[in-house]
Amino acid sequence: MLLEFTMTMTTLLGKYFFLRDSANNPEGVVRDSRGLWTEYDFIIIGAGSAGAVVANRLTEIAEWNVLLLEAGGDESFLGQVPAMAADLQLTERDWQYQTETMDGQACLGLENKRCLWPRGKMMGGTSSLNYMLYVRGNRRDYDHWASLGNVGWSYDEVLPYFIKSEDNQNPTLAKTKYHGTGGYLTVSESQYHSPLGDAFIQGGLEMGYKNRDGNGKYQTGFMFAQGTIRKGHRCSTSKAFIRPIRKRKNLHISMNSHVMKILINPVTKQAYGVQFIKRGRIYQIHARKEVILSAGDTASPHLLMLSGIGPADHLQEKGIYPILANLPVGQNLHDHVALGEIIFLIDQPYSLKEERVRNIPTILNYTAWGGTPLSMLGGVEGLAWLNTKYADPTDDWPDVQFHFIGSCVTADRGRSVRYSHGVSDAVWEKYYSPIMERDCWSIMPVTLRPKSRGYIRLNSADPFDKPIINPNYYDDPYDVKVTIEGIKLALQLSQTSAFRKMNSKFYAMPFPGCEGYRMGTDAYWECWVRSYSVTLAHTAGTCQMGPDSDPLAVVDPLLRVRGIKNLRVADSSIMPFVPSGNTNAAAIMIGEKASDLIKHTWLAQ
């Protein structure tokens, strides 16, 4: 009964902050525009991490009329409370995608041997569903993009777009040339730090790493995580970029609008509008200038293929006609897949167990000043970038990232995180139930530059049929090897004096399915990695950007779809290689840069 009461209180808190936290918007909600026109200058598909930014920046030009389409509704009340991030997954605000099974390569310990694939279906898109971590990646990532022929995408050229969006609340970081203040997007640390978080930073120092800003001059090191949070509450791109400008007369918003296809003239190969369905009615609305596709790494390639743009043989097989451009849409799918967690048990009451987070005093304190465990970024307190034996220690381009969590999947007693990861009942009962009452902390090690590549394909020509998603995790042995070295670094961290003071010990129960391997061997670690594989939703590459010479390029460096006029893609799907870190900040940067590219095209005429 007490748990149900505190859950209700938490939801009401989320509603309160949802309604309160919105500059220039007393109601605190985004509403559908009254009546839709038959024609706009620009139509943006998707109000997510990039699309919300594009809508904001294009409507700065008063004479341009913009229609923003979103398949879902407004943000979730509960989603405003950062610690409740996992609770949003598998709800109506999540597309609820799943991967295919992968022939024994990954996700073996999860339900039906499939990984879940959470993606936001609401205003703000996945920025309203994710764990809010603000990470840009490494300088070398963007310089690599530019070296491939993507002119204008080097680190020095994209850094101003990161800074433009940002309103960093850390005064020390805000003074550096790598951060901005006054932008729409609030970035800050959680106002709560645990003793475990302090041990994480101290342990990194003992390992020889520095405590530094991973978004600054150097990446390698340990830091308290920064996230897209405002006064302890989620700051999605809808809250940051749409709510303050929702009353602009040249912006129309249509939610619960499921786009069925992009309208393209088969003779001129020019995009001229979109077809979507809303409350049972089908609309066809035209675009005088451009259609901008910002539906994300999964839905953008899906929509392109439904519209006749993609691999010709595949489109013919699925009955898509006419085929307007034979392009490698859906190829080059890659992601930061992680080992679900490495658990360490402690004998101190420091972990973020549910009874310490969801209780009346914590909730009341959160209401007053936001600085309780409820402000934690989905439970993630620290981040680190480290070098395995496969990385060059003299180069600031680490190959593994740690997500440090001051608890483990049992912290909520199997109520939400277990299901958001897709852990099967059999694994839960055998592996997790025995430590339900224990204090713990955990690490998710991430291979930053995976070599494995998968694909997204059509299930059918039905726009309501979810696409086929096969990320092909761990197909390349390199990805497993780096993850294994990440496990060894996590074990090394647990043995630092900072954690030994808490009597920290690795939870050495054999993971179900891996009992036949000797604990501590690379063979055992590989079995574990392939069993408990979890996406971090850092997917990239499915509408890859590249020059004419790139056989995998779907869009050019100006983000224009090849062979189709007046159609661009602006979201994480255009990344040729995923950055070395969480991707939401990079998606927002892409929205900023895309807006300038579009402005330059049409204002120059």
- Contact 10/366 with Cβ under 8 angstroms? no
The answer as to whether 126 is a domain residue is no
Tell me the C-alpha distance between 411 and 439, whole Å: 8
Residues of the chain with pLDDT under 50: 1-5, 22-27
Predicted confidence at residue 256, as pLDDT, reads 98
Q: What is the distance between the terminal CA atoms of the chain, rounded to a whole angstrom?
A: 65
Give pLDDT, residue 12. 57
**Is 109 within the bounds of a domain?**
yes
Specify if 95 maps to a domain: yes
From its phi and psi, is residue 370 left (phi > 0), alpha (psi between -120 and 50) or beta?
left
Which SS3 state, helix, strand or coil, does residue 233 take?
strand
| Alpha helix positions (H), 310-411 | 312-317, 354-357, 360-369
Q: CB atoms < 10 A from the CB of 534, how many?
A: 23
In a domain, 488, yes or no: yes
The pLDDT score that the predictor gives to residue 2 is 39
Q: Which residues does the annotation mark as catalytic? A: 538
Task: Find how far residue 518's CA is from the centre of its chain.
Answer: 35
User: CA-CA distance, 460 to 38, in Å (whole number)?
Assistant: 29
Domain span holding position 116:
82-121+189-233+335-535
Contact (CB, 8 A) for 46 and 394? no
CA-based nearest residue to 578, from 160, 144, 248: 144
Q: What is the spatial distance between Cα 508 and Cα 491, in angstroms, rounded to a whole number?
A: 11
Q: Cα separation of 325 and 289, whole Å?
A: 20
Q: Could you tell me if residue 24 is inside a domain? A: no
| Residue 249 DSSP one-character state | T
In this prediction the pTM is: 0.95
> Would you state the structure tokens that stand for residue 126, as one six-digit string?
């996945």
How many CA atoms lie within 13 Å of 96's alpha carbon, on the beta-carbon side? 10
**pLDDT of 400:** 98
In a domain, 207, yes or no: yes
Q: Which residue has the tokens 């550096």?
A: 176
User: What is the count of structural domains for the chain?
Assistant: 1
> How does pLDDT run across 119-129, given as a tens digit for each residue?
999 999 999 99
Other C-beta atoms closer than 10 Å to the C-beta of 152 total 13
The answer to whether 562 and 257 are in contact (CB under 8 A) is no
- Look at residue 205 and tell me if it is in a domain: yes
CATH number at residue 467: 3.30.560.10
Cα-atom radius of gyration of the chain, to the nearest Å? 23
CA 246 to chain CA centroid, Å, is 24
Question: pLDDT tens-digit profile of 10-51?
Answer: 555 555 555 555 444 444 689 999 899 999 999 999 999 999
Mapping DSSP onto H, E and C, the string for 313-331 reads: HHHHHCCCCCCCEECCCCC
Considering the domain boundaries, does residue 256 fall inside one? no
Q: Quick check: 239 and 228 in contact, CB under 8 A?
A: no
